[in-house]
Amino acid sequence: MRPLLIFLFALFLVPAFGQLGIPRSADPASIGQGGILSLDGSRYQPLGNPAILGALKASEGGAFLVQPFGLNDLAVSYAHGAFQAGSGALGLGIGYSGVDGYRAISSHLAFGHKIWNRLYAGLGMDLYYLDLADYGHTYAMGITGGLVFPIFSGLHLGVILRYPFSVATSGTEDLPINYQATLSYALSESVTLSTEWLQEVDFQSDIRVGITYRPLPQLPVRIGYQSLTNGFTAGLGYEWRSTWTLDVAAGHHAYLGFTPSAGFRYRFSRS
């Protein structure tokens, strides 16, 4: 039974990672709103837009777990941190998933800073390793560049360019460049609307929409939708004493079922 699960998981991951060029690991707070990246500087999104590091409001560390389609053997664990450094911040993370015959490791390093009045820029390096029994090893590396521009109070625009420059299995081949744009607007202190467009050359684009509603300041409720999978997501967070944040979320695939996730963050300091 396990080899069959691994095979099905690989079939799902290969198109998903192909769509992204360089794979991205979304935290539960992003999964809850359709996988849309954060742009307001309140938290760091591993493998997201590196420019947001320039607006990071507090150094932080955390971890999260994603369980694809509810399968224990295929759970993905991820640890991450972001630390303020001068006019910007440094972000890093590493993720792992593995059972007999399958192993995946992803790592990420990025730096972002403020380069103008309301313009933030960042650069990241991604490394991904996949080992499938009887299929060999695959390595992917790439550079990610990003910009975040607060157009006016409450409205943020973020753009990302991902350039994968190396893939190795039995040989070496190029991966297509990936483009991404995110728009986030805070209607009020309690409601934020977001949308995201993701396009990889020669692949179908993915349109995402999400909403975050806070019935209480410390209690964000999130829902989202992804056009590529025609799936809905939902999530819930809780902030405790302005230092600890707990998040849970789940996405639903029409044929493969639910993918739950959960994680925590700890803020070390405030700027």
For the chain, how big is the Rg over CA atoms in Å? Answer: 18
> Is residue 120's pLDDT more than 70?
yes
Is the pLDDT confidence value at 85 over 50? yes
- What pLDDT is attached to residue 173? 57
C-alpha distance from residue 83 to each of 17, 62, 89, 144, 235 (Å) = 28, 12, 5, 19, 26
With cut-offs at 50, 70 and 90, classify the pLDDT of residue 158. Answer: very high
* pLDDT level of residue 45 (50, 70, 90 thresholds): confident
Local confidence band at 144 (pLDDT 50, 70, 90 cut-offs): very high
Distance between CA atoms of 211 and 191, rounded to whole angstroms? 7
Rounded distance between C-alpha atoms, residue 227 and residue 208, angstroms? 6
SS3 of residue 187 by DSSP: coil
Give the E-state strand segments of the chain in sequence order: 60-66, 76-85, 88-99, 102-116, 119-132, 136-152, 155-168, 178-186, 191-200, 206-216, 219-226, 231-240, 244-253, 257-267
Mean local confidence (pLDDT), 134-146: 83
Q: Is 217 helix (H, G, I), strand (E, B) or coil?
A: coil
Question: Taking 60 as the threshold, does the pLDDT of residue 16 lie above it?
Answer: no
Looking from the CA of 17 toward its CB, the CA atoms found within 13 Å total 23
Closest CA to 50 of 102, 108, 121, 106: 121
How far is Cα of residue 90 from the mean position of the Cα atoms in its chain?
A: 16
Q: Are 145 and 123 in contact (CB under 8 A)?
A: yes
Domain 2-125+142-164+175-267: state its class. mainly beta
Residue identified by tokens 């080899």 is 3
90 vs 99, which has greater pLDDT? 90
**In this predicted structure, what is the pLDDT of residue 174?**
61
Question: How much is the mean pLDDT over the chain?
Answer: 83
Domain boundaries, the chain: 2-125+142-164+175-267
DSSP 242: T
Q: Taking residues 3-10, what's their average pLDDT?
A: 42
More confident call, 196 vs 40: 196
pLDDT at 4 over 50: no
Are the C-beta atoms of residues 138 and 169 closer than 8 Å to each other?
yes
Structure tokens at 70: 């509810």
